[in-house]
Structure 1
Amino acid sequence: MSKFYQAVGLVCLMAVVQVSCSTSKVAPATTKTATAKADSSDKAKPKTGMKAYKAVITKEAVSDSGVFMVHKVGEKYYYEIPDSLLMRDFLWVSRFASLPSGLGGGYVNAGSSVNEQMVVWQKFGDKIVLKTKSYNAVAADSLPINISVQANNYQPTIYAFDIAALSKDSSGYVIDVTKFFSSDIKTFSGLDAEMRKNYKVSRLDDSRSFIQSVKSFPLNIEVKQDFTYDAAEPPSNSETGAISLLMNQSMVLLPKVPMQPRINDYRVGYFNIRQLDYGSEALKADEKSYIRRWKLVPKDIAAYKRGELVEPVKPIVYYLDPATPDKLRPYIKAGVEQWQEAFETAGFKNAIIAKDPPSPEEDPDFSPEDVRYSVIRYVASTTRNAVGPSVSDPRSGEIIESDIIWYHNHLRSYRNRYLLETGAANPTARTLDTPMDDLGEMMKEVITHEVGHALGLPHNMKASSAYPTDSLRSGAFTQKYGIAATIMDYARYNYVAQPGDENIRFVRQLGPYDHYAINWGYRYLPEARTAEAEVPTLSKWIDEKTGNPMYQFGSGSGGYDPESQTENVGADLVQASTYGLKNLKLVAPKLYDWTAAKTNDYDDLEELYDELLGVWSRYIGHVVTNVGGVHENRLKPNQEGYIFTPVDAKTQATSVNWLLTNAFASPDWLHESKISRNIHHANYVDEIRSLQARHLNSLLSPDRLARLMENEVNDVRYNALDMVSQLQRGIWSEVYKGTEIDIYRRNLQKAYLDRMNYLLNEKPTASRFGTPVNISQSDIRSIVRGELVKLQQQLKSAQNRYKDDLSRYHVQDALVRIDTILNPAKS
């Protein structure tokens, strides 16, 4: 795609001045703005360095009309900038169009935004300069402080261009942009400083770099740059000593008059923009936050005010990519238009529409690169993903355009999860050849999720905990409410339902929160002339839903709220994971029969078995979050209750006991000989060790222990010592009982000692998201030392009771390790 993107989630993502835009590709208007006026008689005489128009834009020029006229003359590219667009606000987004594998550690992909900024073109002497323009700091033009805001937020000049010629009618300026787009300009580059350092990038190789294309549309210009950098240590293809990138530079003309914004409220989930308002009456600059949303205005405001459903002046329209397979088109359209239900709650009908791409006869100017068109892109890629980015006006939050990207292989991931998580209770999932209706329903819901991002909605991870866990075993409940309160959670499948449960919905769907959020963000408030005037109404709507879990929002950031997690369903995490594991234990022994026995091939079996281990690990992780967990409820001071409430002591202790039984006990049920002995030669035991150690380390992480220590002052009768003592006794239960220690448990116990050594003797690395704690000045090391001494004493008394050599050797080794941990100087 060659349009701007702002990525969701990923995620990670306003009232109403109508802006009319041309719907055909025409040359830009030439009306002069006050700031760009010039003496036409002076223009008629080319100044020093300028040439006549026809000497620059020769008969050989290939021209493309649009927001600027773009000319290609030989190998040179020229912009013809009209006076009327000097000092107008443009949004410039730099993104990857294509990139090498592994770039950025694998966390970026084609379509990822590198930088987004607002820019203006202005005339300065005999030059045209491109400057950044920020709306992070603002003040009304009428206020004296506006002078200071401008003086103290002077924006840098990105590039200065010589004026090559005046336009034919002297109403604009011609500049040569060839060098600009051929240069390694840091603000537009795909390689940031860290990448350049890591990959040892020395320079842009001009001989292998070129401008691939420049296209002009009525509201945007799209430039593709094929750049190759010399790099001593590239992320892939190391023998080439180079990194090649295809960058896309998008420049979009913003509306002359910004839309009236809607003030963000953190209790409802919306992507947002932020500004510092120095015109505030407060004793500091006010931080203002506006939600990102499309501009929807009712055609008939009187009917809208009467409560009738009314079509918007300009609906949100998505076109399907011409490359989309015919059999998938109905599901993609249904995924887009499923949001019509939610927009009807906000008073609009036909607010969002999906269309097939127009034929050349219907619209000869149609291009997915044209910012006037939003497109569901179907990408031939092995990537298993879909994304829903959008372009928004940084002045108001208005979403201007969006492209949903669907990668070809994504349905395979959903097929696999469908089989593993619902196969025990859902007969149609027990096959590699999932029925097309089932696959289509999954695709529809993924598209709905991604369109939700493009409507301004971020992930709401709290919604998957809104429903009582046993309600997910009810056909009547799941058919009405789905499996989570919103489509914007990562709650993909109902893994709670058990064999024998009837009429169950297994796949996610639009939920009550989606109707609530769209109404809150998009309902037109005709009586409110300012963003501030809307706030009482918007706040009232939120207050009315206080305490109802169906309408709560939680981002899931921080990792401390057990109600805000990815991939979980149900309010009771222990109960939900218990049901999930029961189902997984029924699926595991059938996996061979559903795959290799049917295909006479082991590839699918290996892929699904690896994913089965991941599902098991995910169910465990959900329960881990209860330990040291803190519930977060987004409240304002006029609402009762606390924002942060620790998980109660009983739930935390119960969760540790559950983990000892289901995560840290030897998982014999996972070892199916006809699976493991046909897909790998020797790594099964170590893979189990790795998964168990990951969750053990998570339980014994400094940030979790910090939250457990906080329980002492929050009147929660379960603290860090309680957890470590309970965990240690369970991990080393064979030592207390004198029973044989099998290979899984020996590995786990060694992992426990490694983690205790980390906490006692090493300097833990700082976490971006963890709860901060000073380990050396907290109780953590006191607890670790005290519990290790207790364990040491127990091991000494138990070592001679073991008859089998491996268990005895293991205990003796553990004693040596503990002595080294407690006395590192001796080693």
Structure 2
Amino acid sequence: MLKLYKTLGWAALVVLTHSACTSSKATKKSGTAPSTETTARPKSSESGIKSYSQVITKDAKSDPGLFTIHKVGEKYFYEIPDTLLQRDFLWITRFAELPAGLGGGYVNAGSSVNEQMVVWQRVDNKLLLRTKSYSATAADSLPISLSVKANNYQPTLYAFDIAALSRDSSGYVIDVTKFFLSDVKAISGLSANLRRDYKVNRLDESRSFIASAKSFPMNIEVRQEMTYDASEPPSNSATGSISLVMNQSMVLLPKVPMMPRIDDYRVGYFNIRQIDYGSEALKADEKTYIRRWRLEPKDVEAYKRGELVEPVKPIVYYLDPATPMKLRPYIKAGVEQWQKAFETAGFKNAILAKDPPTPQEDPDFNPEDVRYSVIRYVASTTRNAVGPSVSDPRSGEIIESDIIWYHNHLRSYRNRYLLETGAANPNARTLNTPMEDLGEMMLEVITHEIGHALGLPHNMMASAAYPTDSLRSGKFTQEYGIAATIMDYARYNYVAQPGDKGVRYVRQLGPYDHYSINWGYRYLPNAKTPEQEVPTLSKWIEEKSGNPLYQFGSGNGGHDPYSQTEGIGRDVVKASTYGLNNLKRVAPQLYNWTAAQTNDYEDLSELYDELLGVWSRYIGHVATNVGGVYENRLKPSQPGYIYTAVSSKDQKASMDWLLTHAFTSPEWLHQAKISRNINPANQVESIRSLQVRHLDNLLSSARLARLMENDVNKVGYNVLDMVRQLQNGLWSEVYTGKPIDIYRRNLQKAYLERANYLLNVDPPQPARTFGAQLNLNQSDIRSVIRGELVRLQKQLRSTGSRSKNELTKYHVEDALVRINLILNPEKK
């Protein structure tokens, strides 16, 4: 889940190739890489610089590593080797602990606040910690590099007085206490927006302290507890304070960056971006490189012959010592499931999972050590798992990755398993899901998160790769799974119907995973520059062009019916129909599968709320067809168009489906044993809020703008067709003379409110569609809404007020008043 991809703690097994640091804690004092730069050192007799023994006294507690950290009383000192000045470091700031509600509940422990590259520089008797950016580059040999440096001058985060020289004068001692106890914005957990929202006045240094500082061969980890005075804190308001624990990580980057691989938007990879001012193009050239681990074959000649070869340094994940024993086999299998995909790229044993070493096996093992990548098992009620990584901003090389598994996450998967597959899958019809099934779910979630850590983003188009009815076939699903990649949010097979035999219900690796790993990780020994790789990489893509198994779609924008989160199957209408049929079978059994077994309503309430959410997702999948635009990622050398509107026939049919399944009164959701036992009065409001959400979505400015484009693209289903079909369907009782029930009355009022918004409310910013601004005043949208409201007004006056049902009559009279005020807002 993507949104969010940075985590607490540090671990990395991968030993960086270009570092001379050793792995033993005992040898950490000498574990620094040589530098090609030298700097004239100040003399200890110079003003302000004391002797080493005066600063680092015999009472000092020292921790050798990348820098030696000394604690003397309440002060912390860094002893920085001269060889590490001017070296590139990556500084990552993350939340370690935070108060409830911070950031509206969307920020978690482990969330990254900032990543920046830094260097240490000496100027006279000071050491400067300065940021460094690779977002603007030019080769040092080119004259323009002088301008790049002059016009991209980086700020100094802090200036430290040199307190002393090292014993052998090979380094510098600085006091870092004040730095970590000051409100340095670049490493703070409180953004300007949070400071404004919570009315933060200042950092209270008297209530702030350094909790710990640890040095490892490749990284330094510091934890600070920071307390701020705040007039309106997100929680514990009586204290007038916000306390945070921040984790500051500083990681040494390889002296020689890995050769990067140029990104191609037709294959999904996380990436880094740089502006190359040394390009021969007539403008600054943007270079985009993928994020990936450094994998190089041990035997290049055997690799060239097509043999499977082990990498020089495999990707290794250690399990957290806190991981329950019964879950360990599934977690390790989830990691190593990627081995098959790496074999497609020519590597064997490229990724491994190991139990945590004992102190006897590895006395230096520590999850915070950047040499170790760890799958952390967190005792938290959070229902989530995340798979972030940290990469070298110069090349995209992934340096380290921690996978976070939160203890309660399997509860979410159990619930979805019951709701989405319970109609056809007997194993799912219980709160006590069999361990084998839970283990399979955990295995696949770990595989998904490892995929992120390998550089792969979500590919939401992969769930539309398979024909919908193929998902009802046991033979097909057992071989191909339910989507073409594990990186989609295709969690369960909700298409399978009762009676379908041998069907797979849980996702798995698919053909796209093999394809994308081969594209990103295959070693190309004959290419000496990133540009020399491009012809081969493009050829691989174009060989798969037009094959839905190998297409990529991010799911962003909400316009492509083939690229949606949580969907499966090529035909979204058919898939949602199957899913809805299953949900209608599950709803009447929900009480029997929960409260009747536990003699408690907690699980029933939770699952019923989630059932409403599943129903809403099925609706949303179909709604995307209306005003939908398919996106096919192409380069100019390939035939065809990138954007193609959904056919008129499919858009109209989808609107018919929505009027039948989304906007009618959902009596099947009213289960008396549920609604009358979990809340006093919320059934009508719950349904109203979901229906109105989809109604407003259909009548969004962006969707209406896409429908207007259908006119010029000769699609045949335009904004007037859609609004008229929607309005006629929503107000069908006016034409038939039937009473209007409470669900429909609510929905019709919501329609009028949305019409008023589109006609009379100017958005604070112009609406956007595909990045272009939409001017509502100068578009057909207001003309269509006004015209259709006038038509509705005439119909209501003609037939609507004759109803014998008193509530219906009052509702129609109220609607007429509302319409009059919408059309004549000056009368309000």
TM-score bucket (shorter structure): over 0.9
Matched, 1:244 2:240: no
Matched, 1:22 2:16: no
Write the distance in 2 (CA, Å) between the matches of 1:656 and 1:765: 30
> How far is the alpha carbon of 1:17 from its aligned partner?
10
Report the TM-score when normalising by structure 2: 0.97
What are the superposed Cα offsets for residues 367-419 of structure 1, whole Å, 9 maximum, x if unpaired?
00000000000000000000001110000000010000000000000000000
Residues 574 and 801 (structure 1), Cα distance of their counterparts in 2 relative to 1, 3 Å cut = same
> How far is the alpha carbon of 1:364 from its aligned partner?
0.8
Alignment of structure 1 residues 221-260 onto 2, 5 Å = 221-260=220-259
> How far is the alpha carbon of 1:107 from its aligned partner?
1.7
Provide the residue aligned with 1:565 in structure 2.
564
Structure 1: tracts of 5 or more residues without a match: 1-6
Provide the residue aligned with 1:721 in structure 2.
720
Maintained 8 Å contact 2:95/2:246:
yes
Structure 2: tracts of 5 or more residues without a match: 8-14
Maintained 8 Å contact 2:496/2:503:
yes
Compute the RMSD of aligned alpha carbons: 1.5
Higher mean Cα deviation, 556-565 or 443-452? 556-565
Write the distance in 1 (CA, Å) between the matches of 2:430 and 2:150: 67
Provide the residue aligned with 2:94 in structure 1.
95
| SS of aligned partner of 1:123 | strand
> How far is the alpha carbon of 1:143 from its aligned partner?
1.1
Matched, 1:575 2:577: no
Provide the residue aligned with 1:3 in structure 2.
none
What code does the residue aligned with 1:407 have?
Answer: Y
> How far is the alpha carbon of 1:12 from its aligned partner?
10
What are the superposed Cα offsets for residues 421-446 of structure 1, whole Å, 9 maximum, x if unpaired?
00001010000000000000000000
> How far is the alpha carbon of 1:621 from its aligned partner?
0.4
What code does the residue aligned with 1:819 have?
Answer: N
What code does the residue aligned with 1:23 have?
Answer: S
| SS of aligned partner of 1:496 | coil
Alignment of structure 1 residues 578-589 onto 2, 5 Å = 578-589=577-588
Write the distance in 2 (CA, Å) between the matches of 1:30 and 1:383: 39
Matched, 1:539 2:538: yes
What code does the residue aligned with 1:339 have?
Answer: W
Maintained 8 Å contact 1:660/1:727:
yes
Write the distance in 2 (CA, Å) between the matches of 1:349 and 1:70: 40
Alignment of structure 1 residues 746-757 onto 2, 5 Å = 746-757=745-756
Write the distance in 2 (CA, Å) between the matches of 1:518 and 1:101: 39
Write the distance in 1 (CA, Å) between the matches of 2:35 and 2:389: 29
Provide the residue aligned with 1:624 in structure 2.
623
What code does the residue aligned with 1:248 have?
Answer: N
Provide the residue aligned with 1:281 in structure 2.
280
Provide the residue aligned with 1:803 in structure 2.
804
| SS of aligned partner of 1:318 | strand
Matched, 1:493 2:475: no
Provide the residue aligned with 1:65 in structure 2.
64
What code does the residue aligned with 1:506 have?
Answer: Y
> How far is the alpha carbon of 1:32 from its aligned partner?
6.0
Maintained 8 Å contact 2:31/2:217:
no
Alignment of structure 1 residues 663-742 onto 2, 5 Å = 663-742=662-741
What are the superposed Cα offsets for residues 606-646 of structure 1, whole Å, 9 maximum, x if unpaired?
10001000000110000011111111110000101101111
Alignment of structure 1 residues 312-461 onto 2, 5 Å = 312-461=311-460
Write the distance in 1 (CA, Å) between the matches of 2:793 and 2:107: 47
What are the superposed Cα offsets for residues 55-107 of structure 1, whole Å, 9 maximum, x if unpaired?
10000000001100100000000000111000000000101111112111222
| SS of aligned partner of 2:323 | coil
Write the distance in 1 (CA, Å) between the matches of 2:799 and 2:232: 53
Residues 8 and 583 (structure 1), Cα distance of their counterparts in 2 relative to 1, 3 Å cut = closer
Provide the residue aligned with 1:145 in structure 2.
144
Maintained 8 Å contact 1:103/1:235:
yes
| SS of aligned partner of 2:366 | coil
Provide the residue aligned with 1:36 in structure 2.
38
Maintained 8 Å contact 1:12/1:458:
no
Write the distance in 2 (CA, Å) between the matches of 1:709 and 1:100: 47
The one of 3, 9, 14 equivalent to 1:9 is: 3
Provide the residue aligned with 1:4 in structure 2.
none
Alignment of structure 1 residues 769-808 onto 2, 5 Å = 770-771=769-770, 772-808=773-809
Write the distance in 2 (CA, Å) between the matches of 1:548 and 1:76: 62
Write the distance in 1 (CA, Å) between the matches of 2:769 and 2:490: 24
| SS of aligned partner of 1:35 | coil
| SS of aligned partner of 1:425 | coil
What are the superposed Cα offsets for residues 336-375 of structure 1, whole Å, 9 maximum, x if unpaired?
0000010000000100000000011111111000000000
| SS of aligned partner of 1:438 | helix
Higher mean Cα deviation, 231-240 or 621-630? 231-240
> How far is the alpha carbon of 1:150 from its aligned partner?
1.1
What code does the residue aligned with 1:366 have?
Answer: F
Provide the residue aligned with 1:163 in structure 2.
162
Write the distance in 1 (CA, Å) between the matches of 2:690 and 2:705: 23
What code does the residue aligned with 2:22 have?
Answer: S
Residues 75 and 103 (structure 1), Cα distance of their counterparts in 2 relative to 1, 3 Å cut = same
Write the distance in 1 (CA, Å) between the matches of 2:753 and 2:168: 77
> How far is the alpha carbon of 1:9 from its aligned partner?
3.3
What are the superposed Cα offsets for residues 691-720 of structure 1, whole Å, 9 maximum, x if unpaired?
000000000011100000011111110011
Write the distance in 2 (CA, Å) between the matches of 1:546 and 1:9: 29
Write the distance in 2 (CA, Å) between the matches of 1:476 and 1:31: 56
Write the distance in 1 (CA, Å) between the matches of 2:165 and 2:189: 33
Percentage of pairs with the same residue: 75
> How far is the alpha carbon of 1:204 from its aligned partner?
0.6
Maintained 8 Å contact 2:314/2:351:
yes
What code does the residue aligned with 2:291 have?
Answer: R
Alignment of structure 1 residues 196-235 onto 2, 5 Å = 196-235=195-234
Residues 30 and 385 (structure 1), Cα distance of their counterparts in 2 relative to 1, 3 Å cut = closer
What code does the residue aligned with 1:158 have?
Answer: L
Write the distance in 1 (CA, Å) between the matches of 2:35 and 2:438: 54
Provide the residue aligned with 1:478 in structure 2.
477
Write the distance in 1 (CA, Å) between the matches of 2:746 and 2:517: 51
Write the distance in 2 (CA, Å) between the matches of 1:99 and 1:119: 26
Residues 768 and 92 (structure 1), Cα distance of their counterparts in 2 relative to 1, 3 Å cut = farther
What are the superposed Cα offsets for residues 210-252 of structure 1, whole Å, 9 maximum, x if unpaired?
1100000000000001011111111112122111111000000
> How far is the alpha carbon of 1:29 from its aligned partner?
4.9
Provide the residue aligned with 1:640 in structure 2.
639
Write the distance in 2 (CA, Å) between the matches of 1:653 and 1:469: 20
Write the distance in 2 (CA, Å) between the matches of 1:108 and 1:245: 12
Provide the residue aligned with 2:85 in structure 1.
86
What code does the residue aligned with 2:39 have?
Answer: K
Provide the residue aligned with 2:10 in structure 1.
none
| SS of aligned partner of 2:415 | helix
Maintained 8 Å contact 1:559/1:769:
no
| SS of aligned partner of 2:114 | strand
Residues 12 and 693 (structure 1), Cα distance of their counterparts in 2 relative to 1, 3 Å cut = farther
Write the distance in 2 (CA, Å) between the matches of 1:481 and 1:819: 57
Maintained 8 Å contact 2:702/2:768:
no
Write the distance in 2 (CA, Å) between the matches of 1:301 and 1:773: 55
Maintained 8 Å contact 1:36/1:123:
no
What code does the residue aligned with 2:23 have?
Answer: T
Higher mean Cα deviation, 796-805 or 131-140? 796-805
Maintained 8 Å contact 1:272/1:291:
yes
Write the distance in 2 (CA, Å) between the matches of 1:766 and 1:409: 40
Write the distance in 2 (CA, Å) between the matches of 1:545 and 1:797: 59
What code does the residue aligned with 2:499 have?
Answer: G
Maintained 8 Å contact 1:574/1:623:
yes
Write the distance in 2 (CA, Å) between the matches of 1:788 and 1:8: 41
> How far is the alpha carbon of 1:208 from its aligned partner?
1.3
Residues 769 and 72 (structure 1), Cα distance of their counterparts in 2 relative to 1, 3 Å cut = farther
| SS of aligned partner of 2:201 | strand
Higher mean Cα deviation, 718-727 or 18-27? 18-27
Write the distance in 2 (CA, Å) between the matches of 1:291 and 1:813: 58
Residues 59 and 18 (structure 1), Cα distance of their counterparts in 2 relative to 1, 3 Å cut = closer
Write the distance in 2 (CA, Å) between the matches of 1:76 and 1:274: 39
Write the distance in 2 (CA, Å) between the matches of 1:331 and 1:34: 47
Provide the residue aligned with 2:612 in structure 1.
613
> How far is the alpha carbon of 1:37 from its aligned partner?
2.9
Alignment of structure 1 residues 258-273 onto 2, 5 Å = 258-273=257-272
